[in-house]
Amino acid sequence: MNSIIEVDLNAIVYNLQAIKKLIYPETKIIGVVESNAYGHGLVETARAVWTSGADILAVQSLEEAVELRVNKIKSPILVLGYVDQNDFYKVLEFDITTTGYDVDLIYLLNIEAKKHNRWAKVDFKIDTGMNRYGFKPYEAIEAYGKIMKFEHIKIEGIHSHFASPFDKEFSEIQLREFQNFLFGLQQQKIQIPMVHMASSEAAYLYNESQFDAVRVGLALYGYSDNPKFQEKLKPALSFTSKIAAIKRIAKGESVSYDRIYKASGPRKIAIVPVGYADGYPRNLSNKSEVIICGARLKVVGRICMNALMVDVTGVTCSIGDPVVLIGEEKEEAVYAGELASIADTTTCEILSRLSPLIPREYHFK
């Protein structure tokens, strides 16, 4: 095979245990394995997260939830995103909890549950400032009361989502909005189910945001934008390919589309069969580095759909030699966070866009 993604499940277990040390002992962990487990591979990663101590798994889509069930993963599963009403029967069949953010949709779910004489489980979402899914605070109490009256709906949790955890002032506003809603329920003597708000970063930054559970995603895979938190984590994924061809070019010759790289002198160029279709971003062109034969080397020219070029001048290398795009070799390392910084994006995007067509190999002792 040309390329492979290797996932160290031991690192994911290590990260989960590191997160447990940072939160209150009674706080549950919701392991977020959405978007193909951030590119790590949904089923195997989810199984490792579940068996190593997560209390609940969270995915983005019903399709991901069903895939976990088909693969005999029996953990509680929360779908964080939209579920089409035509698929509500699957929610019941596979025992999935959906995110509740619209009374009309939840009413339709209630009707479907009544048909099957089943309970439909919902996690009620409050929009405290993300302006995405969720009830606005001013309408949330009334909406919650309506949903409580649906005969076949069971509210299993209440959650919100920080928009920008590193923005302390805005995060505190969001936290107060959420706390005020919970206080409003208490005033009405409504029993409050499991409460969760904190993501990986927020759980580390704001102890008061931990509530009953924390939703950890990126930190599970070994990354944080907080240097102190990052020190406690181990990146779990490596992405390697091979040199497919080597050619020599003269001074002034260009490489790849748009001729954005021109050689300042005679150069040796290695062609690697990886491009933006594989999830290696085009805007890393002429900017990022890879590791070949233990040396960090510059990607040159425009990254293509299925190929990128590397300046290997002065390096003894051959066709078939490994190329580390994300990972470590000898004393050198290139991590997804570095690529995200160069590409002006997030580590989440770098990882989650890695093509599912690239084979995954798992290591677990």
**Tens digit of each residue's pLDDT (9 = 90 or more) over 61-116:** 999 999 999 999 999 999 999 999 999 999 999 999 999 999 999 999 999 999 99
> What pLDDT shows up at residue 1?
76
Question: Is residue 159 within 8 Å of 196, Cβ to Cβ?
Answer: yes
Burial of 309 (0-12, 13-18, 19+ CB in 10 A): buried
> What pLDDT shows up at residue 204?
86
Tokens matching residue 229: 């938190």
Instruction: Quickly count: other Cβ atoms within 10 Å of residue 127's Cβ.
Output: 20
Q: Domain 8-220 adopts which CATH fold? A: TIM Barrel (3.20.20)
> What pLDDT shows up at residue 364?
87
Low-confidence ranges of the chain (pLDDT < 50): none
Query: Helix (H, G, I), strand (E, B), or coil: what is residue 129?
Result: coil
> What pLDDT shows up at residue 203?
87
* Domain parsing of the chain, residue ranges: 8-220, 237-334
- Write the pLDDT tens digit of every residue in 220-256: 999 999 999 999 999 999 999 999 999 999 999 999 9
User: Identical fold at 8-220 and 237-334?
Assistant: no
> What pLDDT shows up at residue 75?
96
> What pLDDT shows up at residue 308?
98
> What pLDDT shows up at residue 365?
77
Q: What is the helix, strand, coil percentage profile of the chain, to 5?
A: 35, 25, 40
Reported for 175-183, long-range contacts at CB under 8 A and 24+ positions apart, including other chains, are: 175/128, 175/206, 175/208, 175/209, 177/126, 177/128, 177/129, 177/137, 178/126, 178/128, 180/137, 181/126, 181/137, 181/140, 181/141, 182/158
Burial of 197 (0-12, 13-18, 19+ CB in 10 A): buried
Question: Is residue 354 within 8 Å of 239, Cβ to Cβ?
Answer: yes
Domain spanning 237-334 has what CATH number?
Answer: 2.40.37.10
Question: Is residue 295 within 8 Å of 315, Cβ to Cβ?
Answer: yes
